[in-house]
Structure 1
Amino acid sequence: MKELIEEFLSYLAGVKNYSYNTLLAYQADLKDFADFCGSLPSEEEAFQKLREYLENLKKKGYNPFSIARKISSLRSFFKFLEAEKGFNISFLLFLESPKLPFRLPKVLSLEEIEKLLNSPDINNPLGYRDRTMLEVLYATGLRVSELVNLKFENLNLELGLVRVLGKGSKERLVPLGDYALKFLKTYLENVRPQLANEKSKNFVFLNRRGAPITRQRFWQIIKDYAKKCGLEDKVTPHVIRHSFATHLLQGGADLRALQMMLGHSSLSTTQIYTHLDYKKLKEVYEKHHPRA
């Protein structure tokens, strides 16, 4: 089974062009299933093994979201086995994902975003870098992996745009906004040269040793600033992305435009943000409906 999983991961990397982090998630899910089964179950045994595996996950206390993700990974793996090895996967028709509770994303208020953005000390190079990264993150709604992988060729400072290579190697253009653009120009002109060396290549954001800053390190930086301004239980990189989307919609942004900026392949994924501000919705109704 180990060899089949390696083949599948190679397919995802080479043909589907999945990101490194996505590949790690698939690898972890499939290894977990392989450890449970010991070997690839036969076509006749597969459905029963899957049911036993999912029951085992529930007993271990896995939440429905984690179980649903593992089921998705397994579905993809077995479909690959069908296409490449002729494995009969008719049993997948009877495999049900758990019903997921509706879960709204957490967002920060405008005041909380201001506190977070103002928390780095911009009088030292690393503080200015951190402020720039936070400004760009909030201005664009990028995923952290997209932010730390930005290179010079991704930036068009004249037009104030950033070109992002997102999930599945899908490319999109996102406006930077005046604040982020101002900080980014100053960082590139005055701060980055103080950090850069032969390790830097053409990556935009660098650590104190001149190498590209990692996703894990920037996550820790955000946690540190969140703690500093009393938001430690509220802030993650994805909360900033959710806040970007919510504040745009509250300001009157079009849902389709937001979908493009976030890099969502389906509008249904973006529509979750329409549930976030019922008060705003009620205000719009009362203002515009003739019998409100």
Structure 2
Amino acid sequence: MDQKEYLKRYMRYLKLECGYSANTQAAYQHDLLFLFHFLEDQGKTVTEVKLADLETFAAGLHDQGIGPRSQGRILSGVRSFYRFLLLEGDVKDDPTELLPWPTIGEHLPEYLTTEEVDQLEASIDLSKWEGQRNKAIIETLFSCGLRVSELVNLKISDIYFDEKFIRVLGKGNKERLVPISDEAIKQVNLWFVDRRQMKIKEGEEDYVFLNRRGHHLTRTMILIMIKRQAVAAGITKTISPHTLRHSFATALLKGGADLRAIQMLLGHERLETTEIYTHMEVSDLRREILEHFPRNIKKKGKM
């Protein structure tokens, strides 16, 4: 079987088994072509690859001037491909299992503390028609850890108020159930009081969050709203809707939640994606030690 046939089967797997979008499939294919071109130069097939070959391949990515993050993305795609081949019985062992990952500089996402989220919500002018809607949006993003794309597509029929769950359609059209807090339920119900007074466009009746013309919101609208609200709240951090998702995950980790539980709530396919929050926790601990550990305090006093 030649490489084109392996690639064709893998693309079919990503589409039918994983439910990935056409754009995601294209991204995986693009990254795999780096490997295929390398193997052609080496005169090897995908099933003959050993760890040493992949180490040479990874070093070649660096030599081509490809940055660490892009290297990591490409190698992640290669790892996914070989797990597929292992699953299909095309290879007996996964050659990527011990492949070292490129070193990526520590770039941790910004997040808000619970107090800062309260500060953000407190700055909302509830006398404006959109005030309660915006408060419900911020609370739902923070309490449920939703992607902004998931929030704009949230339907009334997706909210189970009595059971305190919402049904979320995430990446790859994968559904997951996420608990919704009492506070978020309260704010959404208060928004529904205003929403009932609106003239809603045909076909938009089931969307939770609407603009003044009765259409469901866009991601850009929510991004602009949150940035403006951060300025009004005096928050100097650079934030976006995704910041509230990070804040949700960080708050859970600080509260002692299991990393795999956080992975399920966020809808991450790979645990490695969720593990960034452990790095955030370590970063916070380091800061606390530097600021509050007695010996560090003494040293600061002598300076």
Is the structural similarity TM-score above 0.5?
yes
> Which secondary structure does the structure 1 equivalent of 2:130 belong to?
helix
What CA distance in whole angstroms lies between the structure 1 residues aligned with 2:178 and 2:169? 9
Asked if residue 143 in structure 1 is aligned to residue 147 in structure 2, the reply is yes
Sort the Cα spacing of 1:153 and 1:232 in 2 relative to 1 into closer, same or farther, 3 A: same
What CA distance in whole angstroms lies between the structure 2 residues aligned with 1:160 and 1:50? 49
Q: How does 1:270-285 map onto structure 2 within 5 Å?
A: 271-272=278-279, 274-275=281-282, 277-278=284-285
Among residues 51, 55, 70, which one is paired with 2:62 in the alignment?
55
> Which secondary structure does the structure 2 equivalent of 1:194 belong to?
coil
Structure 1 segments of 4+ aligned residues over 6 angstroms from their partners: 1-7, 36-40, 81-84, 86-91, 279-282
Give the match for residue 130 of structure 2. Answer: 126
1:137: Cα distance to partner? 0.9
Sort the Cα spacing of 1:44 and 1:215 in 2 relative to 1 into closer, same or farther, 3 A: farther
Deviations for 1:43-94, whole angstroms, at most 9, x for unmatched residues? 726769945861355x25x2x233212221243346657888x699987578
5+ residue gaps, structure 2: 46-52, 294-303
> Which secondary structure does the structure 2 equivalent of 1:121 belong to?
coil
Deviations for 1:90-119, whole angstroms, at most 9, x for unmatched residues? 875786431345554432234432232234
5+ residue gaps, structure 1: 287-292
Sort the Cα spacing of 1:103 and 1:160 in 2 relative to 1 into closer, same or farther, 3 A: same
Give the match for residue 290 of structure 1. Answer: none
Give the match for residue 114 of structure 1. Answer: 118
Q: Could you tell me the TM-score, scaled by structure 1's length?
A: 0.69
Q: How does 1:2-151 map onto structure 2 within 5 Å?
A: 8-18=10-20, 20=21, 24-28=23-27, 30-31=29-30, 34=33, 42=40, 44=43, 50-51=57-58, 54-55=61-62, 59=65, 62=67, 64-77=68-81, 96-101=100-105, 104-151=108-155
Asked if residue 255 in structure 1 is aligned to residue 263 in structure 2, the reply is no
What CA distance in whole angstroms lies between the structure 1 residues aligned with 2:256 and 2:99? 39
Give the match for residue 172 of structure 1. Answer: 177
Sort the Cα spacing of 1:116 and 1:198 in 2 relative to 1 into closer, same or farther, 3 A: same
Sort the Cα spacing of 1:50 and 1:256 in 2 relative to 1 into closer, same or farther, 3 A: closer
What CA distance in whole angstroms lies between the structure 2 residues aligned with 1:54 and 1:96? 13
- Between the aligned residues of both structures, percent identity stands at 30
Sort the Cα spacing of 1:81 and 1:220 in 2 relative to 1 into closer, same or farther, 3 A: farther
Give the match for residue 289 of structure 1. Answer: none
What CA distance in whole angstroms lies between the structure 1 residues aligned with 2:5 and 2:223? 33
Sort the Cα spacing of 1:67 and 1:27 in 2 relative to 1 into closer, same or farther, 3 A: same
Give the match for residue 240 of structure 1. Answer: 244
> Which secondary structure does the structure 2 equivalent of 1:108 belong to?
coil
- Structure label with greater radius of gyration: 2
* Count of matched residue positions in the alignment of Structure 1 and Structure 2: 274
What CA distance in whole angstroms lies between the structure 1 residues aligned with 2:120 and 2:98? 47
Among residues 189, 199, 207, which one is paired with 1:185 in the alignment?
189
Using the TM superposition, name which of 223-232 and 235-244 deviates more: 223-232
> Which secondary structure does the structure 2 equivalent of 1:163 belong to?
strand
Using the TM superposition, name which of 100-109 and 199-208 deviates more: 100-109
**Preserved contact between residue 164 and residue 173 of structure 1 (Cα < 8 Å):** yes
1:166: Cα distance to partner? 4.2
Give the match for residue 194 of structure 1. Answer: 198
Q: Could you tell me the TM-score, scaled by structure 2's length?
A: 0.67
**Preserved contact between residue 120 and residue 230 of structure 2 (Cα < 8 Å):** yes
> Which secondary structure does the structure 2 equivalent of 1:125 belong to?
coil
